[in-house]
Amino acid sequence: MVVDLATRQTLDDIKRNVQDCLGKKVILRTNKGKRKAKVREGIIQDAFPSVFTVRVDEGRDSERTVSFSYSDILTESVEVTILGTTDRIKVS
């Protein structure tokens, strides 16, 4: 039971950190397994109760909106770094 409370608090902290970065440019590094990763730049667009969205520039005047859950940051499936800094949204 204590583990559930710690995880809930951790997810709330991650959610708060994402909300503080709304509208900021970020670098997304998504881990695809077997040493494969995809790195993209985007802008954090919205934060919802279970997910957050990032508008990603796909090049050639093409944009795409991708969504991630807060647990993706917790499990390090995705790393979010604020562009121009070394600050990452991560588990506190």
Q: What is the pLDDT of residues 32-62, one digit of tens each?
A: 878 888 899 999 999 999 999 999 987 777 8
- What is the rounded distance in angstroms from the CA atom of residue 64 to the CA atom of residue 62? 7
What is the percent of the chain with per-residue pLDDT over 90, rounded to a whole number? Answer: 53
What pLDDT, on a 0 to 100 scale, did the predictor assign at position 1? 44
Name the residue range of residue 69's domain: 2-89
If you average pLDDT over every residue of the chain, what do you get? 86
Count of domains forming the chain: 1
Q: Per-residue pLDDT averaged across 69-91, rounded?
A: 85
pLDDT over threshold 60, residue 86: yes
- What is the rounded distance in angstroms from the CA atom of residue 91 to the CA atom of residue 74? 6
| Overall pTM > 0.85 | no
